[in-house]
Amino acid sequence: MAQITIDGSTPVTFHCDETDTIMRAALRSGIGFPYSCNVGACGNCRFQLLEGEVEHVQTSPRAWTERDEKRQRYLGCQARPKTDCRIKLRTDEQYEPGTRPLPAMARLLAKTALTHDMTEFALELDTPLSFLAGQYALLGTPAIDSPRAYSMCNVSGGDTQWNFQIKRVPGGAMTEQLFDHLQPGDTLTFDGPFGTAYLREDSDRDILCLAGGSGLSPMIAIARAAAEHPQLRQKRLDFVFGGRRPEDMCGEDLLGELPGFGTTLHYHPAISEDVPADEWVGLRGFVHDVASQLFGEELRDREIYFAGPPLMAQAVQKMLFDLKVPFDQVHFDEFY
């Protein structure tokens, strides 16, 4: 067990197992260590190593540059301690976890197809644990090099069942395991919950959820939790879901089960590919354009949650920036 000290006027110390990463160990100790993706791609967890030795879990994480290496900067979600360490970074209370993440074992209970390439996976953990709507967990199997992040779609009852809506990625290592190899009864490694794009229960604003493809799961969780919440269920919630083609569309039946569907809760499916008029009669365009056309400057008064592939996330951020939507009303974890 290594001792990690975060330098500062009041140094903070915590312990990190040699098999754990410094960022996850900090969160397990309740420390607000900044992060987003948890898979070495966004760079938000970067810290400076002042003393000691670390190694990254992945040999070349996407967000780690030559410049970082020269300056002794590492990624907290990837760095495992080889010795006691002293590090420099600015902690932030917005990252302090509501539920401290824990590693666990998960058993696959069921797979339910949603579309030709989206499936809901129900997992049962070996220990009860709660999470907030919009958060994610890390799932892995011995067949893949490092775990992948997946967002939960159910509302946590603090029990053992966690459900995930996952899109198959052609050539993807983990989705191939999930879709083609794992069967009910098989086990996966699990670590969670993580993520800061959770439902803000204290907000008084109407809500907008924007989901593109693989981003469906956390937005369904937000809509489900809002529909159960005594104050938020009286607010308007618009749910824009974007896919390429009509066969990618899903979510309407899941939202249709919720109270308020059609009155306070509105579903807006949109496709981005140019298909003939007799194949699609609904909205067309990318999610950010559709949201901007439907709501425009009204978005400044909304609490906004979004999830989806990196290009969609960039386009949504730009659209919200151009519309001058206050950044503290916008919630997302970066997908990769």
Binding test (CB under 6 A) with ligand FES, winner from 40, 147, 195, 242: 40
The partner residues of 209 in beta bridges, in order of sequence, read: 239, 305
User: Is there binding between residue 38 and ligand FES (CB under 6 A)?
Assistant: yes
For residues 194 and 26, give the distance between their C-alpha atoms in angstroms, rounded to a whole number: 12
Nearer to ligand FAD, 167 or 200 (CB): 167
User: Is there binding between residue 195 and ligand FES (CB under 6 A)?
Assistant: no
For residues 164 and 83, give the distance between their C-alpha atoms in angstroms, rounded to a whole number: 36
Residue 278 beta carbon to ligand FAD: minimum distance, rounded to whole angstroms = 30
Which among 42-50, 96-104, 258-266, 310-318 is the span making contact with ligand FES, rule CB under 6 A?
42-50
User: Is there binding between residue 35 and ligand FES (CB under 6 A)?
Assistant: yes
The partner residues of 268 in beta bridges, in order of sequence, read: 240
Parallel, antiparallel, or unpaired for β 206-212 and 237-243? parallel
Binding test (CB under 6 A) with ligand FAD, winner from 135, 154, 214, 264: 214
Residue 40 beta carbon to ligand FES: minimum distance, rounded to whole angstroms = 5
Binding test (CB under 6 A) with ligand FAD, winner from 78, 151, 264, 329: 151
User: Is there binding between residue 146 and ligand FAD (CB under 6 A)?
Assistant: no
Nearer to ligand FES, 78 or 177 (CB): 78
Nearer to ligand FAD, 26 or 118 (CB): 118
Residue 150 beta carbon to ligand FAD: minimum distance, rounded to whole angstroms = 5
For residues 336 and 334, give the distance between their C-alpha atoms in angstroms, rounded to a whole number: 7
Q: Rounded to 5 degrees, what are φ and ψ at 291? A: -60, -40
Residue 132 interaction partner, one of ligand FES, ligand FAD, none, beta carbon < 5-8 Å per kind: none
CB-based contacts of 179-186 (< 8 A; 24+ apart in sequence): 179/111, 179/119, 181/143, 182/108, 182/141, 183/108, 184/108, 184/109, 184/110, 184/111, 185/107, 185/108, 186/107, 186/108
Query: 232: helix, coil or strand?
Result: helix
Residues 70-99 that bind ligand FES (CB under 6 A): 75-77
User: Is there binding between residue 41 and ligand FES (CB under 6 A)?
Assistant: yes
Residue 279 beta carbon to ligand FES: minimum distance, rounded to whole angstroms = 39
User: Is there binding between residue 21 and ligand FES (CB under 6 A)?
Assistant: no
Binding test (CB under 6 A) with ligand FES, winner from 6, 14, 20, 36: 36
Q: Which amino acid is at 49?
A: L
Query: How many residues form the binding site for ligand FES (CB under 6 A)?
Result: 14
For residues 143 and 89, give the distance between their C-alpha atoms in angstroms, rounded to a whole number: 34
For residues 7 and 177, give the distance between their C-alpha atoms in angstroms, rounded to a whole number: 41
Rounded to 10 degrees, what is the CA torsion of 297, 298, 303, 306? Answer: -60
Q: Could you say which DSSP state residue 142 is in? A: T
Residue 169 beta carbon to ligand FAD: minimum distance, rounded to whole angstroms = 4
* E strand segments, 182-253: 187-194, 206-212, 237-243
Residue 217 interaction partner, one of ligand FES, ligand FAD, none, beta carbon < 5-8 Å per kind: ligand FAD
Q: Which parts of this chain interact with ligand FAD (CB under 6 A)?
A: 37, 39, 136, 148-151, 164, 166-167, 169, 171-175, 214, 217, 333, 335-336
Interacting residues with ligand FES (CB under 6 A): 35-38, 40-45, 63, 75-77
